[in-house]
Amino acid sequence: MRRTRLKHVCLAALLTLAALGGTNTLPAAAAGTTGSTAATAAAPASPGLLQAMRQEFGLTEEQAVARLEAEQAATALEPSARRTAGAAYAGSWFDAAEGRLTVAVTARASQATRAAIRADGAGVRVVEHSARALDAAKSRIDRLSAPSAVGSWHVDPVANTVVVTVVRDRRSDNDVQRFLAQARAAGPVTVETVAAAPRTFAAGTVGGDPYYTGNFRCSIGFSVYGGFVTAGHCGQAGAGVRGWDGSYIGNFQGSSFPDNDYAWVNVGSGWWTVPVVLGWGTIPDRLVRGSAEAPVGSSVCRSGSTTHWHCGTVLAKNETVNYSEGAVHQMTKTSVCAEGGDSGGSFISGDQAQGVTSGGWGNCSGGGETWFQPVNEILNRYGLTLHTY
């Protein structure tokens, strides 16, 4: 295992150096933070990624290519569509069936505004509640004390409501009913049931993968200049971090959990950072080129040290997740599975960094849902710069 890993590390370094023009900025005998063979500087629609999408979504290769292109267009269009809608903006999402961004607006949006959004290539849906009103309702719910059987809550732009999830066999509990009554008083609320409560995905030391702190194994998220970002529940500020081979990497420089679930670790002692996400042999390793935020409905993939590479879709943004340790805010929910030890790992859409794995419910045998903390929030919080190709 170590010889194979070392070979991958050296190849990653050589390919990264070549891609950066052969600069001599990386120590030749060091171990790379992300490890494994770096991907070539190809378009996001690599053969491996197309194969993963075909398996995950039941698409032909042509359909997978078309979907990736449409998602990239939607990601680029979303910020301008929001500005065009102004105060009438009520959310947006990637509509896989239509292959384009759909923008929700309230009735106060003029015909000229709606026409401008359509002219840019997006669909328009008229709804009752603005994004501002729904966000205000969610903020009021954030101030409530939620029982453990309440899993999460988020603004759903498609349903134009705040969706609250409750563990299926606990919905009739008195404390759950009291919480739901208070939530409904805060604004428009829809209740959905889930199979289990969310949990974080840290794991005890079982050997062999990306990093360890104390008795826990977690996964590297994304390289930043000077270190990498990961999940806050994996370690407190000051805690030492060891790599896959047991050697010292650095320390947690900042960490927040609960309320948030993010952290960053400095890298030294012969380790360096590279803008790569492991594909674990399922696809070629991914070069990271930026952090443009993918819309709801877009495809997204996760890389982690336990279950490796899995894909799904973005289900919701700005969701409050009610872990047993406390609520975590501004999370993004996905249909991707994860398991213990995957915490902190990378969520990526195409070649754009999305966030670090926090927790969820279910597993990669029976399915489930997983949340990530958006990477741009982490970068802004700590003043970090994403390491990109």
pLDDT in tens, 124-151: 999 999 999 999 999 999 999 999 999 9
**Is 335 one of the catalytic residues?**
no
pLDDT for 334 beyond 70? yes
pTM of the model: 0.80
What is the rounded CA–CA span in Å between residue 285 and residue 42? 11
Q: Of 95, 261, 285, 351, which is the active-site residue?
A: 261
Residues counted in the chain: 389
**Is 169 one of the catalytic residues?**
no
Q: What is the pLDDT of residue 162?
A: 98
Q: Averaged over 177-202, what is the pLDDT?
A: 93
Can you give the residue ranges of every domain in the chain?
1-72+152-389
More confident site: 95 or 247: 95
pLDDT for 380 beyond 70? yes
Q: Of 256, 343, 349, 358, which is the active-site residue?
A: 343
**Is 233 one of the catalytic residues?**
yes
Q: Of 8, 154, 233, 310, which is the active-site residue?
A: 233
Q: What is the pLDDT of residue 389?
A: 87
Identify each DSSP E strand in 96-237 by its residue range. 100-106, 123-127, 150-156, 161-167, 189-194, 199-200, 203-204, 211-213, 216-218, 222-224, 227-230
End-to-end CA distance of the chain: give it in Å, rounded: 28
pLDDT for 10 beyond 50? no
pLDDT for 23 beyond 70? no
* Per-residue confidence band for 258, with pLDDT thresholds at 50, 70 and 90: very high
Topology of the domain comprising 1-72+152-389:
Thrombin, subunit H (2.40.10)
What is the rounded CA–CA span in Å between residue 345 and residue 155? 25
